[in-house]
Amino acid sequence: MKFRAALALAGAVLLSACGLNSVPTAEESAKARWADVQTNYQRRADLVPNLVATVKGAAGSEGKILNDVVSARARATQIQVTGDDLTDPAKVSAFNQAQNGLSLSLQRLQRLQEAYPQIQSQGNFKTLMDQLEGTENRIAISIRDYNTAVQAYNTRIRTFPDAVGAKIFYGSKPMTPFQAQAGADKAPTVDFGNGS
């Protein structure tokens, strides 16, 4: 009787060290951080129409840049990545590319306001640009937090003893971290077509 109790206790200890709780906890943490990334991208997508409408009123001649922003926003909101898609590098990369396209368009829009100082004097424009800047900061922080959670999850499912439970009980696969696109370290060239 004591042997069975000791065997059951030893089995429970061994199973507790095999990631039965820690693997799904780490996975859910990474998925929650991904939800934060998506929330902040959605916040940006919601701000863009207001920003575009404000700028259109002050800089109607620069419609191409505004149309680029609207098109980039549409592409960025069409691609969705769920928590279950985080193990598919192609889906994460497509999402990343669409979001980077919107970022580049917004950078061009910011350069537009530098070229046309009268836009800066509009309170709504400044408020929206401040909101957008804050949103970009939130995006950067949420991406960092997501990548930290993915790193913790990927490390957990690849190291002993949690790797045993991850493989046997969950069939866990590594999640894809969010990465900057090639060339993202260089500022985009902006041409307003006005020769300056």
What would the mean pLDDT of 112-139 be, rounded to a whole number?
72
Is the Cβ–Cβ distance between 120 and 126 less than 8 Å? Answer: yes
Q: What pLDDT does 66 receive?
A: 66
Q: What pLDDT does 44 receive?
A: 82
Q: Is the pLDDT of residue 179 over 90?
A: no
Q: What pLDDT does 154 receive?
A: 92
pTM (two decimals): 0.59
Max mean pLDDT among 20-29, 51-60, 106-115 falls in 20-29
The contacts of residue 154 (CB under 8 Å, 6+ apart) are 174, 175
Q: Is the pLDDT of residue 150 over 90?
A: yes
Per CATH, the architecture of 45-142 is what?
Answer: Up-down Bundle (1.20)
